[in-house]
A and B are shown apart, each in its own frame.
Chain A
Amino acid sequence: EVQLVESGGALVQPGGSLRLSCAGSGFTFSNYDLNWVRQAPGKGLEWVSYISGRSSTIHYADFVKGRFTISRDNAKNSLYLQMNSLRVDDTAIYYCARGSAPYYWGQGTLVTVSS
């Protein structure tokens, strides 16, 4: 069974940093592209970042360029999102999602940016 489990969400002050993780299981991790997608409270889906299976291709949404960094460790079956210079409007549930569709989604981890 394919599983994606996010962790690392927390309450952080504006300007702070946070690192999210996503653990994959039930599939050959390195074979699949991965995405981070977020959803602010009561709002729609918003794509954040993409990384290819071997990390050769990376894309970011304009609103996170220069602040967020996506990475993966295929040996650990893990995806990461390093978030710096966090803003109040980064408050959201962050989902990791597998594939170009994306096909499988994790349950999400809540990031709250507030003073």
Chain B
Amino acid sequence: QSVLTQPPSVSAAPGQKVTISCSGSSSNIGSGYVSWYQQLPGTAPKLLIFDDNKRPSGIPDRFSGSKSGTSATLDITGLQTGDEADYYCGTWDSSLTARVFGGGTKLTVL
């Protein structure tokens, strides 16, 4: 059971927009920065979003993050078949004194 809750799967057609949610509590999302990662099959995770809504260099602006209270969201617009991957949210939990991740969301581009 992950500390952060994500939907197991989402799907959308190419060119469409998808939103992945990440729900937590006041001790994690509510008090710390959220990161989002993309993991393509057989590869290491790749940082997409840090500090709630910042993109590392090289990450297209089709990927955006936001946060409100104890929930965060990752939006992906202009979906491409190459976006099919697992997506994870993560943050620091001050009560657990541990970094916590969501269980992951599998994105299917139909």
Contact = CB atoms under 8 A, between A and B. Distances in A.
A103 B47 contact: yes
A74 to B, nearest CB: 22
Interface string B84-102: 0010101010001111111
Given A45-B101, A45-B104, A61-B98, A103 B45 contact: no
Interface residues of A, number: 21
B50 interface: yes
In this complex, the interface size class of chain B, counting residues with CB under 8 Å from chain A, is 20 to 34
Interface string A44-76: 111100100000000101100000000000000
Interface stretch (A19-27, A77-85, A104-112): A104-112
A102 interface: yes
B2 interface: yes
Contacts of B102: 44
Nearest to A61: B98
Nearest to B101: A45
Contact of B44 (A46, A61, A62, A105): A105
A44 B37 CA distance: 12
7 contacts: A46-B101, A47-B98, A47-B99, A47-B101, A105-B44, A105-B47, A108-B44
Interface of A: 35, 37, 44-47, 50, 59, 61-62, 95, 97, 100-108
Interface of B: 2, 33, 35, 37, 39, 44-47, 50-51, 56, 86, 88, 90, 92, 96-104
